[in-house]
């Protein structure tokens, strides 16, 4: 969440005059604009589909394919794969292949 907020802040401030070499606002007006920037509430980051994916993985010994995720959540393949890829990127899951079928499987190591 911090990375996403910082990226938005950086994008908003890029190209503006009155920034220090580190991109920090140097004028009172710029500082006030940053302070008043809307920040999404924590509830905006909640996603019930993530919980459905976790429950489905737990029921399968911590391993989940995209297809199994689609069945568990009712979302599209793209949506499920995007969520799983984000979990992979942030270190919550590892990726491998099913030993018999070769299907890509996301491994939730904490389960």
Average pLDDT (40-48) is 58
Q: What 3-state DSSP class applies to 43?
A: helix
Do 39 and 52 sit in the same domain of this protein?
no
Q: Into how many domains does the chain fold?
A: 2
- The whole-angstrom separation of Cα 95 and Cα 105 is 6
Give the torsion through C-alpha atoms of 63, 68, 72, 78, to 10 deg.
110
The answer on pLDDT for 64 being more than 50 is yes
**pLDDT for position 42:** 45
Average pLDDT over the chain reads: 78
On whether the CB atoms of residues 104 and 93 are closer than 8 A, the answer is no
Do 27 and 54 sit in the same domain of this protein?
no
In this structure, the number of other CB atoms found within 10 A of the CB of residue 64 comes to 25
Domain of 67: which CATH number? Answer: 1.10.10.10
Do 10 and 61 sit in the same domain of this protein?
no
Do 36 and 59 sit in the same domain of this protein?
no
- The whole-angstrom separation of Cα 70 and Cα 9 is 34
**pLDDT for position 41:** 46
Do 54 and 99 sit in the same domain of this protein?
yes
Do 71 and 37 sit in the same domain of this protein?
no
The answer on pLDDT for 93 being more than 60 is yes
Domain extent for 89: 47-107
Do 82 and 99 sit in the same domain of this protein?
yes
Do 10 and 53 sit in the same domain of this protein?
no
Do 12 and 57 sit in the same domain of this protein?
no
């Amino acid at each position: 969440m911090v990375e996403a907020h910082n990226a938005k802040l950086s994008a908003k401030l890029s190209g503006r005059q009155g920034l220090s070499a580190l991109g920090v606002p140097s004028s009172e007006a710029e500082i006030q604009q940053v302070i008043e920037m809307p920040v999404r509430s924590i509830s905006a980051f909640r996603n019930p589909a993530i919980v459905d994916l976790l429950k489905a993985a737990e029921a399968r010994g911590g391993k989940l394919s995209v297809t199994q995720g689609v069945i568990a959540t009712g979302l599209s393949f793209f949506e499920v794969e995007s969520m799983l890829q984000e979990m992979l990127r942030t270190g919550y899951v590892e990726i491998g292949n099913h030993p018999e079928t070769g299907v890509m499987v996301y491994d939730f190591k904490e389960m």
